[in-house]
C-alpha cells in the first residue's frame, strides 16, 4: 500500500520512535516536583523546549506545548483577541485557512466580533495588499497560514507580517504544513504548529507568543506551560516531536529537491494521461510534496475508493466525500473545479516506483468511475436553441455530466439552462465552461434551486 496523504498525518519518523521509547523511562514523572524523578522529567521538557525554540526561531520562554495543533490555534487566536480587546473586535483571516482558524473566527463572530476574510487568486495565494486593505483602527489580530494544506500554495507571510507590524497588529501564522521544511520568515507575532504533520507523534502542538504581544489565556488555567496549556505535559511525546522536527530539518534540503521533482512529474503527466483534468494550486510557490488535481465527471469519493483498491491512500477536497456534501472551502475560494478532486501529498522517503505506479493506475481508475456515472460521449445532434437540464436533487458530478451530454444538442450561440440545488454546481459549472471553452452566462433564481446558464461557443 502506498501512503500518499502525508499532509494529513506524516508517518512516524524513526527518530521520533527512538526518542519516544527512550524517554518513557525518564519522562513519566511530574516535572513540577523537586524530587529526582521530577527533576529528570523537567530536564527532558526544558531541553525539548530549547530545541523546539531553536528550530522555530524564537526564545524558549515564548514557546509552549499544547495537546494538538488545533488546540494551539484555538488558544492562540482566542488569547490574542482577548489580550487586545481594548484595541477593538476585528479579526482578519484568509479565505483558505485551516478549519481550526475558521472555526475560531466563527466563535469570535458569534460573540459580537467582526471578521474580514481575505480572498485568494486562482492559485490559492493571498495578495499582501488584501491584508493591507483589510486593516482597520480596531483590528486586534490577523491570521495567515504559511502554506495551504489542500493545494500546497505558499503564502507571502513575510510581506504580510511587515504590513501588520507597521500597523501595530500582531500576525498569527499557522505553520502546520511548512515548519518541517523551514523556519517561518518575517516579523510574525504568534505561531502554531502540529507535530504529526512532520512525522512526530500525534497529540503535540506548538504555540509561540512573542514577548510584547498582549495575550490573555481564555478558560480555566493552571501553572503549567505559562498558563496557556492546562494539564499534565506528555513529555515522552514532546521529546519525540522535537527530535523528529530536528531530524526532518536536517534532511529537508535534499528531500525537498527529490519531492519537487516527483510532484512536478505528477503535475505534468496527469493532464496528459487523463482527459478533462484541472491541476490546481500555484505552480511555483508551493510545498515540495503536495499536488492537487480535479477530474470532470467524477465522484470524488468513488475515485478515492477506486484508488484505495489499487493500493493508494490519497485524500480529497471534493464536494462528494463521506464527511460533507459541500465543496472544500479552499477550492471554492480559489474558484477552481471541485468535483473528482484528489490531493496527493508524498511522505518523505517515498519510492519513485510508487509514484510511477500511481500514474499507471490513475487513468484506469478515473475511466472506471466515469463509466459507472455515464460520463458523456461526443454529441452531434442539433435540436433546439435552448435546452433545460433538470438536475434537482442530484449531487456532484451529475449536474455537470448532464450538461456535458446535451451541450452539443444546441447550436452555437444556443444555451443550456441547468437546474440544480447542489451548492457545488455554483463552482463546478463555471469551471467546466472554462475548461471546455464554453461561456458561463450566470445564474438565475428558480422555483427550486438555481438555474445556471451556459452558452455554447463551439
378-416 pLDDT, tens digit per residue, is 433 334 578 999 999 988 899 999 999 999 888 888 999
Chain-centroid distance, C-alpha 97: 7
pLDDT attached to residue 377 = 53
Confidence at residue 396, expressed as pLDDT on a 0 to 100 scale: 82
Task: Tell me if 228 sits within 8 A of 79, measured CB to CB.
Answer: yes
- The DSSP element (H or E) to which 439 belongs, if any, is strand 439-445
pLDDT at 327: 77
Please choose, from the candidates 402, 458, 457, 393, the residue with its C-alpha nearest in 3D space to the C-alpha of residue 428: 402
Q: Is 378 helix (H, G, I), strand (E, B) or coil?
A: coil
End-to-end C-alpha distance for the chain, whole angstroms: 44
Q: Cα dihedral sign for 267, 268, 273, 275?
A: positive
What's the DSSP call for residue 33? Answer: -
Phi, psi of 318 (to 5 degrees): -65, 155
**Lookup: cell for 192:** 502554531
- 419: part of which helix (H) or strand (E)? strand 415-420
- Are β-strands 90-94 and 139-145 bridged in parallel, bridged antiparallel, or unpaired? parallel
How many CB atoms lie under 10 A from the CB of residue 95? 18
- Inter-residue contact 300 to 257 (CB < 8 Å): no
Residue keyed to cell 524558549: 60
CA-CA distance, 423 to 140, in Å (whole number)? 33
Q: Which of 164, 295, 320, 433 is catalytic?
A: 320
Q: Are strands 171-174 and 139-145 parallel, antiparallel or unpaired?
A: parallel
Mark the ranges of the chain whose per-residue pLDDT is less than 70: 318-326, 377-384
Task: Please tell me the predicted confidence (pLDDT) of residue 375.
Answer: 83
Stated pTM of the model: 0.86
CA distance 348 to 31: 34
Who's near 111: CB < 8 A, 6+ residues apart?
none
Q: Are 208 and 63 in contact (CB under 8 A)?
A: yes
**For residues 203 and 240, is the Cβ–Cβ distance under 8 A?**
no
Q: What integer pLDDT is reported at residue 317 of this predicted model?
A: 78
Cα–Cα distance for residue pair 444/236, rounded to 1 Å: 58
Buried b vs exposed e over 202-216: b needs ≥16 C-beta within 10 Å? bbbbbbbbeeebbbe
Q: How many CA atoms lie within 13 A of 410 on its CB side?
A: 22
d(Cα 64, Cα 294) in Å, to the nearest integer? 39
Mark whether 320 is an active-site residue. Answer: yes
Contacts of 393 (CB under 8 A, 6+ apart): 421
Helix axes 14-23, 235-273, angle to 10 degrees: 170
Q: In this structure, what C-alpha cell is assigned to residue 338?
A: 471541485
pLDDT for position 381: 38
Q: Are strands 190-194 and 63-66 parallel, antiparallel or unpaired?
A: unpaired
Long-range pairs for 231-234 at CB < 8 Å and ≥24 separation? 231/67, 232/30, 233/31, 233/45, 233/65, 234/67, 234/203, 234/204
Amino acid at each position: 500500500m502506498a501512503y500518499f496523504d502525508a499532509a494529513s498525518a506524516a508517518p512516524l519518523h524513526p527518530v521520533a520512535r527512538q526518542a519516544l521509547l527512550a524517554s518513557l523511562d525518564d519522562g513519566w514523572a511530574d516535572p513540577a516536583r523537586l524530587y529526582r524523578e521530577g527533576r529528570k522529567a523537567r530536564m527532558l521538557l526544558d531541553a525539548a523546549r530549547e530545541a523546539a525554540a531553536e528550530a522555530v526561531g524564537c526564545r524558549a520562554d515564548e514557546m509552549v506545548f499544547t495537546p494538538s495543533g488545533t488546540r494551539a490555534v484555538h488558544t492562540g487566536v482566542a488569547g490574542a483577541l482577548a489580550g487586545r480587546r481594548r484595541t477593538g473586535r476585528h479579526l482578519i483571516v484568509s479565505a483558505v485557512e485551516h478549519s481550526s482558524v475558521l472555526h475560531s473566527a466563527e466563535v469570535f463572530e458569534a460573540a459580537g466580533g467582526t471578521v474580514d476574510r481575505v480572498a485568494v487568486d486562482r492559485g490559492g495565494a493571498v495578495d499582501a495588499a488584501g491584508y493591507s486593505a483589510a486593516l482597520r483602527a480596531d483590528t486586534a489580530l490577523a491570521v495567515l497560514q504559511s502554506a495551504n494544506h489542500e493545494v500546497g500554495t505558499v503564502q507571502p507571510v513575510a510581506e504580510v507580517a511587515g504590513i501588520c507590524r507597521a500597523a501595530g497588529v500582531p500576525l498569527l501564522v499557522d505553520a502546520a504544513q511548512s515548519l518541517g521544511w523551514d523556519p517561518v520568515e518575517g516579523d510574525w507575532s504568534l505561531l502554531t504548529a502540529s507535530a504529526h504533520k512532520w512525522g512526530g507523534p500525534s497529540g503535540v502542538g506548538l504555540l509561540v507568543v512573542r514577548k510584547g504581544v498582549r495575550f490573555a489565556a481564555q478558560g480555566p488555567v493552571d501553572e503549567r506551560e505559562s498558563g496557556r496549556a492546562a494539564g499534565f505535559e506528555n513529555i515522552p511525546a514532546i521529546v519525540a516531536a522535537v527530535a523528529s522536527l530536528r531530524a526532518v530539518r536536517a534532511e529537508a534540503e535534499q528531500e525537498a529537491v527529490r519531492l519537487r521533482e516527483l510532484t512536478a512529474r505528477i503535475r505534468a503527466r496527469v493532464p496528459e494521461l487523463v482527459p478533462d483534468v484541472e491541476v490546481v494550486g500555484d505552480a511555483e510557490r508551493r510545498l515540495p510534496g503536495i499536488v492537487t488535481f480535479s477530474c470532470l465527471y467524477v465522484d470524488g469519493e468513488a475515485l478515492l475508493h477506486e484508488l484505495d483498491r489499487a493500493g493508494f491512500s490519497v485524500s480529497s477536497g471534493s464536494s462528494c466525500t463521506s464527511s460533507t456534501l459541500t465543496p472544500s472551502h479552499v477550492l471554492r475560494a480559489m474558484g477552481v473545479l471541485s468535483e473528482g478532486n484528489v490531493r496527493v501529498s508524498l511522505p518523505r522517503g517515498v519510492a519513485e516506483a510508487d509514484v510511477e505506479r500511481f500514474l499507471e493506475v490513475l487513468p484506469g481508475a478515473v475511466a472506471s468511475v466515469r463509466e459507472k456515472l455515464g460520463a458523456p460521449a461526443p454529441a452531434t445532434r442539433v435540436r433546439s436553441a435552448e435546452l433545460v437540464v433538470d438536475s434537482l436533487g442530484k449531487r456532484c458530478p451529475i449536474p455537470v455530466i448532464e450538461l456535458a451530454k446535451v451541450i452539443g444538442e444546441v447550436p452555437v450561440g444556443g444555451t443550456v439552462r441547468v437546474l440544480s440545488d447542489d451548492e457545488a454546481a455554483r463552482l463546478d459549472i463555471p469551471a467546466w465552461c472554462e475548461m471546455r471553452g464554453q461561456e458561463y452566462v450566470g445564474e438565475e433564481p428558480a422555483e427550486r434551486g438555481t438555474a445556471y446558464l451556459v452558452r455554447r461557443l463551439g
